[in-house]
C-alpha cells in the first residue's frame, strides 16, 4: 500500500488542472441542482397541504429557519432531517428528491 493512500480519491484524477476543476465543478453543479429540486419539492408539498413553514416545521420537529433553508435550497440536510421532513409531509424520501412531475 502506498504511503499516502489516504490521499487517493475514489475516482480517477487526471493531472490536467482543467480536468480536475471540471470534475469538481460538475459535482458542485449536480449538488446545487439536487438542492434546488429538493427545495422546490418541499415547498410544493407543504403548500399543497395548506401549511405555513412554521406549522410544518413544528410537525417535523425542526426550527422554522431550517425549513426555510430547505425550501430555498440553501440547506445541506442530513439523512435524519430528510426523514423528519418526509414524515411530516407523509411522503417517501424518494418523493422529496425526485425530478418535478410537471
Orientation of helix 64-72 relative to helix 17-48, angle to 10°: 120
Rounded distance, CA 84 to CA 71, Å?
A: 14
Q: What is the pTM of this model?
A: 0.70
5 pLDDT band, cuts 50/70/90, is very low
Domains and CATH numbers, the chain: 16-97 (1.10.260.40)
52-75 confidence digits (pLDDT tens) = 999 999 999 999 999 999 999 998
Rounded distance, CA 47 to CA 53, Å?
A: 9
DSSP assignment letter at 3:
T
Amino acid at each position: 500500500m502506498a504511503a499516502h493512500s489516504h490521499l487517493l480519491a475514489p475516482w480517477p484524477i487526471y493531472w490536467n488542472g482543467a480536468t480536475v476543476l471540471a470534475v469538481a465543478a460538475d459535482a458542485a453543479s449536480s449538488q446545487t441542482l439536487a438542492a434546488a429540486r429538493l427545495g422546490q419539492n418541499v415547498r410544493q408539498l407543504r403548500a399543497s397541504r395548506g401549511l405555513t413553514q412554521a406549522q410544518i416545521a413544528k410537525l417535523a420537529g425542526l426550527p422554522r429557519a431550517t425549513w426555510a433553508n430547505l425550501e430555498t435550497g440553501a440547506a445541506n440536510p442530513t439523512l435524519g432531517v430528510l426523514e423528519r421532513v418526509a414524515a411530516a409531509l407523509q411522503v417517501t424520501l424518494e418523493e422529496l428528491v425526485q425530478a418535478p412531475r410537471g
